Amino acid sequence: MLPSKTRDKDIRFNELKDELKAVGFDTMRIEREDYLELVVTTDKLGALTIKLESFLGPAIWPSQRRLEAMVEERIKEFGGIMTDQALYFKQQLEEIFLVMLWPWKDSQHTTIKVIRGILPLRH
């Protein structure tokens, strides 16, 4: 269920982070070169989803299919993914981009985890 390697729209990670922050957020928890974690209010999710789909394509989770092992291993480092959560993924040559949306139980907030990773070299 992985999208093919693509050059159709080169993803610039800083541009992705800037676009997501521009939608508006309640709290910025962490920002690093390869990671961004925000808390957004539910009213921002529509605009956020449009931005995510323009950069990464449609969400790969939730899905009836299992995630690829490489994706599961990578998201496990960030808490994994549950049934009521969403996951966006795109591979661009050796780089991967993951965005996880974790809705809160209060139905008013969602944690957004934006991750850039490098695939390990295969021998």
Q: What is the domain count for the chain?
A: 1
pTM for the model? 0.84
Question: What's 47's DSSP letter?
Answer: H
Provide the percentage of residues in the chain whose pLDDT is more than 90.
Answer: 63
pLDDT score of 2 more than 50: no
Q: For residue 122, is pLDDT > 70?
A: no
99: in domain? yes
- The 10s digit of each residue's pLDDT in 47-86 is 999 999 999 999 999 888 888 888 888 899 888 898 899 9
Please give the distance of CA 76 from its chain centroid, rounded to a whole number: 13
Instruction: Let me know if residue 71 belongs to a domain.
Output: yes
Q: Is residue 5 part of a domain?
A: no
| Per-residue pLDDT at 5 exceeds 50 | no
Q: Give a yes or no: residue 3 inside a domain.
A: no
Q: Which domain holds residue 113?
A: 13-117
Peptide bond into 103 cis (omega under 30): no
Please tell me the predicted confidence (pLDDT) of residue 123. Answer: 45
Does residue 56 fall inside a structural domain? yes
